[in-house]
Amino acid sequence: MVRRLAPILVALLAAGCGGSSDDTNSGAASSSGGTSTTAVRTTPAPTATVPTTTTLPSPADDPAALAAQVTAVERTLRDPATPPEVAESTGTFQQLAYRRLSAHPEWDAAFFAAIEPDVAAAAANNVAAFRAFQRPPHGPPSDTLPAWRIVPPRPVDELMGYYRESEAATGVPWYYLAAIHLVETRIGRIDGLSTAGAQGPMQFLPSTWAECCTGDIENPRDAIIGAGVYLQRSGAPGDMDQAILRYNRDTRYRDAIKAYAANMAADERAYLGYHAWEVFYASSAGSFHLPVGYEEPAPVPVAEASTTAALPG
């Protein structure tokens, strides 16, 4: 399922679709001692049933026009008068706009020269987060699509309540928890395992969960509170760098988390956009959009996947 953009944004769309940059390329990110690797099952791979992505909107194909789109998107998200349904559709387009920009570093100078000052810092943080995962080291692209189920995220207010509850209990700022939730499973959309066995919306290894946390590893509330506990025991909130690196030992991961968290710390409404971000998966055949409803019990060779679902990088 891909949401339609709100009417106030339709006029901003231009033709063309950019390549992938922050795609999930190695499975749900394994946390708390795991490694970011593709979910693998040993059962035979079935025929792919990847839904098409023909209704995805397209961002502009030049940096100045893209800067105008991003300015409108960021202002819409931060406007308290923006209805929730408009914020959701705006967030869907926001993700695509930053995917396009991050695939074109040669556009940076023109883009940031054209972006309006009131949203420049937010844009810079989002670009930095996308680009973090482009830095080496990274392995070869996957030849299969993952054995995942993609489900709708819990409502904004419900999840914000869990972040705040975890913050009150542990002192870990809510926006770091939300940023980890975003990077790990796209706010809970990804229901799947890493090869290391990390699981749940905040991607814990069961052994780590047993040492630090209580409740159900798959339950959003329990997992978010557990993430706060683990980060606190790892040095948060006093040393967030150390705590994030204990959660995932990749400096690219740390940098992305800090960039997303900075935007939400500056304006809580930034979370409304991130809540709408969907799942894209980088593969050897290009970038695939995995919408709500995608479900495979075993990895699917990309050669068997629907070509209409691919978004070449």
If one compares 113 and 304, the residue with the highest pLDDT of the two is 113
Q: What percent of the chain has pLDDT over 70?
A: 79
In sequence order, the 6+-apart residues with CB closer than 8 A to the CB of 59 are 13, 14, 16, 17, 18, 66, 69, 93, 96, 97, 99, 100, 101
Q: What percent of the chain has pLDDT over 90?
A: 73
Mean pLDDT of 129-158: 93
Across 38-42, 99-103, 281-285, 302-306, least confident range: 38-42
Tell me the whole-structure pTM to 2 decimals.
0.85
Domain boundaries, the chain: 7-311
Confidence class for position 11, pLDDT limits 50, 70, 90: very low
Confidence class for position 2, pLDDT limits 50, 70, 90: very low
CA distance 112 to 53: 30
- Judge whether residue 51 has pLDDT over 50: no
In DSSP terms, 287 is beta-bridged to 282, 311
What are the tens digits of pLDDT across the range 169-221?
999 999 999 999 999 999 999 999 876 789 999 999 999 999 999 999 999 99
In this structure, what are the phi and psi dihedrals at residue 232, rounded to the nearest 5 degrees? Answer: -60, -45
CA distance 104 to 201: 31
